[in-house]
Chain A
């Protein structure tokens, strides 16, 4: 893998069972994806699924998505699209590493959102590469628990997917 990542945005009807239809199709057709997020959009009728995957999206995947009755619009985002992910990471907190962690939090413009004598929880937002870098930085201190939201992304400029 050349490290290329692709982001696909999918507008789907906002109704029960939609995520099952989309993920079921991926399993059935043998498409591999890295991460998937789903959430509300500017329109009440639609939810937006953001799919993050290694390599290029196949023509087949896009076409199979379009065949699902609940799918309204599919778009491969531009490489320079704005990408964000949120992570909460709980690390071991002791007198030896406290200042190093705080420096990292500062540099990464992260926030400490919970603090106890033995641990602290940090919130980091950014592109996935930034989150990856932060995780790496925290590893030596002892990661107790972490979770990531998966990526959300929008194309730059005034262009919108539904308007097209």
Chain B
């Protein structure tokens, strides 16, 4: 059938199984919005307060489900407002398709009103991008965008569509949903080599990252750890991949990781790395990282092998398949000495934690906040965060309800990510969503409260309010002689009134009892709620490996 470019765009999104999109209209996407109006029964559009919120929402939508998130923005400032959101998705390998309008082909390159070369701008922060010159190429370009976004190591793809292409007509034939391209299977000799290395080791550590978190392999990894007597740690992006409550799972390692998890990784003689990229925040000084250990790395991306850390064996291809084949070929081995040693480390960790807790005399400590959240959050709750101290406390304390229940900006560390992402996660899952944020991060994109109110998105916002930019302040305390340059906010914002002004419910809490009451009440709300949770400005995220430091430099107490 003959359709206009804008209609082809929307029809192709529907054809590709897209049911929700996030965006903001503007001059060069009016035609697309006209087509969205036409097909509004088949595709739901969420109007955000700012394009950045739309990009983060599409990202959160994807993180919570694994589906491709879609956002739409107009040319020029609309497109540049997506940039932080696209970069956030890129650094965490999140499949996303960003659609931007642009000025008509005839006006391209003339510095026309709201013209920007967005494919040029997003070149380093997209997995790939397209400028669609002819309407005849539009549908196939979009299909390719979806194929690239979800295949291999996922990532964001941007499609820039000039206005005349949206208006021009051509033939459109619906096609089937594009499937992920199958990943290559690793050669048997490599599997055998991995099995041999595992058989020879005494202290195996399975190191799980974001590449494994989405695959839902948690139970299999735990069972494998039991079988070969290994322990499991994860990177920040690997959180929620492994079911909680098993003593073999030591939690996050790295800069703010659990003491026992980082120490065990350092003492291990074999690391089986699944979908991790050995980021500097996870390894510290790479010259001193895991020196006693051989490393086997499973990843779909060949460029991750030997990028940051030299590995002994890289298995590039289908991670799930490689893992299953390794599991089948490995013999059951006890390695109880290793478990005893890890229990000792756990004991030391517990002692540190108790010391920290005992020294903390504030009315409401972060640990108490998270204990109450853990005890009271309903099943399947998605926990989203912003970036800073509250994010690291979340990583340390929250007991996640399974894979894809943790939505947080790891690689880019985007303050202002949380609210948009939490909204996207709710739209995608309709499961309970709790956003943990700080007064710094929340201030960056709190305008999205308007969106959450309009669409009745019941995000419970736990605003850990300490009046300072806590993470930078912590660095200033530890490494800059307490010179608190521009980290004391000294703002007079009344977050309860602010929530009410947006049409949301607000609470102010200063004690555990008040927090619990507010939190359980907020969970019953049918719209967004803001819990202004007052904590002390000198709470620290501990332990901490100083940037560029090694395990011996670990800081476990400050006061």
Report which A residues bind B (CB closer than 8 A): 17, 20-21, 24, 28, 59-60, 63-64, 66-67, 69
Contact = CB atoms under 8 A, between A and B. Distances in A.
B123 A21 contact: yes
Nearest to B133: A16
Contact of B306 (A17, A21, A24, A59): A59
Contacts of B303: 60, 63-64, 66-67
B148 A69 contact: yes
Contact of A69 (B120, B127, B131): B127
Contact of B124 (A17, A24, A67): A24
Contact of B301 (A20, A24, A67): A67
B123 A69 contact: no
Given A17-B119, A69-B148, A63 B127 contact: no
B128 interface: yes
Interface extent on B, as a size class? 10 to 19
Most chain A beta carbons < 10 A, residue from B124, B127, B301: B124
B302 to A, nearest CB: 5
Interface of B: 119-120, 123-124, 127-128, 131, 148, 301-303, 305-307
A63 B127 CA distance: 14
Contacts of B301: 67
B361 to A, nearest CB: 49
A19 to B, nearest CB: 12
A21 B131 CA distance: 14
B421 to A, nearest CB: 26
Contacts of B148: 69
Contacts of B302: 63, 66-67
Contacts, number: 25
Given A17-B119, A69-B148, A63 B305 contact: yes
A64 B301 CA distance: 9
Nearest to B304: A63
Given A24-B123, A66-B302, 19 more contacts: A17-B119, A17-B131, A20-B120, A20-B123, A21-B123, A28-B124, A59-B305, A59-B306, A60-B303, A60-B306, A60-B307, A63-B303, A63-B305, A64-B303, A66-B303, A67-B302, A67-B303, A69-B127, A69-B128
Question: Which 6 residue pairs across A and B have the least CB separation, nearest first?
Answer: A63-B303, A69-B128, A63-B302, A64-B303, A28-B124, A67-B303
A21 B127 CA distance: 11
A21 B122 CA distance: 11
A28 B124 CA distance: 8
8 contacts: A17-B119, A21-B123, A59-B305, A60-B307, A63-B302, A66-B302, A67-B301, A69-B127
A70 to B, nearest CB: 8
Contacts of A24: 123-124
B553 to A, nearest CB: 27
A59 B305 CA distance: 9
A17 B120 CA distance: 9
Contacts of A17: 119, 131
B332 to A, nearest CB: 36
B279 to A, nearest CB: 16
A64 B306 CA distance: 12
B443 to A, nearest CB: 31
Contacts of B123: 20-21, 24
Contacts of A59: 305-306
Contacts of A60: 303, 306-307
Nearest to B120: A20
A10 to B, nearest CB: 15
Contacts of B131: 17
